[in-house]
Amino acid sequence: MDKLLIAGGIPLSGEVAISGAKNAALPLLCAALLTKEPVTFTNVPHLNDIGTMLKLLAQMGVKVSRETSRICAGDAPKEVPLGDTVTLDASGLNNAVAPYEMVKTMRASILVLGPLLARAGEARVSLPGGCAIGARPVDQHIKGLTAMGAEVGVEQGYVHARATRLKGARLFTDMVTVTGTENLMMAACLAQGETVIENAAREPEVVDLANCLVAMGARISGAGGDVIRIQGVDALHGATHRIMPDRIETGTYLCAAAATGGAIRLTGASATSLDAVIDKLMDTGCDIVAERDAIRIKAPRRLAAVSIRTAPYPAFPTDMQAQFMAINAVADGTAVMRETIFENRFMHAVELIRLGADIKIDGNTAFVTGRPKLDGATVMATDLRASASLVIAGLVAQGETLIERIYHLDRGYEGLEKKLAALGADIRRVK
Ligand code: EPU
């Protein structure tokens, strides 16, 4: 199995392009199930999770065509991904089933439930189990679809939902759920009458999905706020949609530059969806300039520790907590880091401790006291963002860091080692 070998201590410098957002692309690809006409997506990141979703859709009878574009800027490591163009044609949808074998490798498969049910009148989706970061139930997805008139049961590990036609309803989720909001919003597009989702997730990925659905003929208002209204229509049509830039990938590179004392420019990036992260990075002492389609960061010699508390958008994202723990591990001072979204999202802490970090965990709170240096060691990636935090720590640590189980990284960071190598890092994939 591939591993990453990093020789730390080099401040990152230069320019790198940000890819399309994984967490926007996954629900968007599922939205193509809602229409008989082809839907084309551009700026689709080349990631394992996207490959899994396309395989899942293909086995449902969706025709998938994928074009990969790359600009080769001289040496191979600098080959820049441009984002894939993916066209999905769900006119031949013939199998409304998401099997266990696929759902177990990617929980986001649950996003087919709403669109399948709305379009085909039936869906059988394997119930995702727990995962490394928490139990992650899907009860709110089921509650919402039931309120829209679906008959939903759990049989032999599968959610089995049926409805001749969903009916608009007033929905209230017990907590803010991103994929829950997305699933219900997609289902409501083809329901009869008006659906109102209260306590909706306000994440930019929800807005990107709503924009695409509107381009497909859906009638949606309020996305980006906590009340979304959807007037159901009889059918949706084809459209072309460009996937938004990945705000978590952007934040991860900003943290890598900050931790290494570097100065980089991220192109194709948007600062507007990153206020909470940029604010905290400025508190560490970094200089950040937002340009039209780019962000520049320049780090001081030593960062100041910053306390954070994760919460739904627009507050500080749970998907950036691990990367900030790596920053705080080498910053000046003690940070208090509270995780409020997932119950088990501190798995990276024990690995960071193996690199010499001073971290104490008490329930959902981590106390991180910065050390002037970390030391390279062999560590294990446990989930996507945990792996990103280990990469950042490895870029700072003295000597070599070997990261095992990097398949987690390939799920969510397009060309990570190529992009970091282009920024001057000494990083390579080894067997
Ligand atoms: N929850 C329930 N019941 C539900 C739905 C959610 O109890 O029916 C709970 C979850 O267990 C969690 C909280 O509500 O404690 C919020 O979970 P949410 O549903 O918002 O998470 P998600 O939709 O499964 C998405 C992202 C995650 C990101 C979270 C939070 C995608 C494909 N995934 O997950 O991304 O951490 O929102 O922002 O959009 C990642 O990219 O590394 C990642 C894990």
- Tokens 């900003």 belong to 254
Nearest ligand 1 atom, CA 317: 38
Q: Is the CB of 141 under 6 A from ligand 1?
A: yes
Element (H, E) at 239: strand 239-242
CA pair distance 88, 74, nearest whole angstrom: 33
The partner residues of 171 in beta bridges, in order of sequence, read 197
Other beta carbons within 10 angstroms of residue 51's beta carbon come to 14
The predicted pLDDT at position 71 comes to: 55
The tokens for 223 are 């996305």
Q: Among 174, 179, 183, 203, which is best to mutate for testing ligand 1, by the most ligand atoms less than 8 A from CB? A: 179
Q: Is the CB of 114 under 6 A from ligand 1?
A: no
Q: Kindly report the three-state secondary structure assignment for every residue of 156-194.
A: CCEEEEECCCCECCEEECCCCCHHHHHHHHHHHHCCECE
For residue range 37-86, list pLDDT tens digits in order: 999 999 999 999 999 999 999 999 999 999 887 655 444 444 555 689 99
Q: Is the CB of 200 under 6 A from ligand 1?
A: no
Task: Please give the distance, rounded to the nearest whole angstrom, from the Cα atom of residue 94 to the centre of ligand 1.
Answer: 29
Q: Whose CA is closest to atom 7 on ligand 1?
A: 137
Residue in 30, 72, 131, 189 annotated catalytic: 131
In the annotation, is 30 catalytic? no
CA-based diameter of the chain, in Å? 63
Nearest ligand 1 atom, CA 134: 11
User: How many residues does this entry show for the chain?
Assistant: 431
Is beta strand 358-362 parallel, antiparallel or unpaired with respect to 308-309? unpaired
Task: Please give the distance, rounded to the nearest whole angstrom, from the Cα atom of residue 319 to the centre of ligand 1.
Answer: 10
- Provide CB contacts within 8 A for 345, sequence distance 6+: 133, 134, 318, 321, 322, 339, 385
Task: Please give the distance, rounded to the nearest whole angstrom, from the Cα atom of residue 368 to the centre of ligand 1.
Answer: 25
Q: Whose CA is closest to atom 10 on ligand 1?
A: 136
Q: Is the CB of 109 under 6 A from ligand 1?
A: no
The predicted pLDDT at position 314 comes to: 98
Nearest ligand 1 atom, CA 133: 44
The predicted pLDDT at position 128 comes to: 85
CB 365 within 8 Å of CB 337: yes
Q: Whose CA is closest to atom 11 on ligand 1?
A: 136
Can you give the pTM of this predicted structure? 0.96
Q: Is the CB of 101 under 6 A from ligand 1?
A: no
Nearest ligand 1 atom, CA 203: 38
Q: Among 19, 22, 23, 226, which is best to mutate for testing ligand 1, by the most ligand atoms less than 8 A from CB? A: 23
DSSP conformational letter for 303: P
Q: Is the CB of 179 under 6 A from ligand 1?
A: yes
Per run of 10 residues, the mean pLDDT along the chain (length 431 residues) is 95 97 98 98 95 96 89 49 89 96 92 98 89 83 98 93 97 97 98 98 98 98 98 98 98 98 97 97 98 96 97 98 98 98 94 98 97 96 95 98 94 95 97 90
Whether the ω angle into residue 314 lies within 30 degrees of 0, i.e. cis, is yes
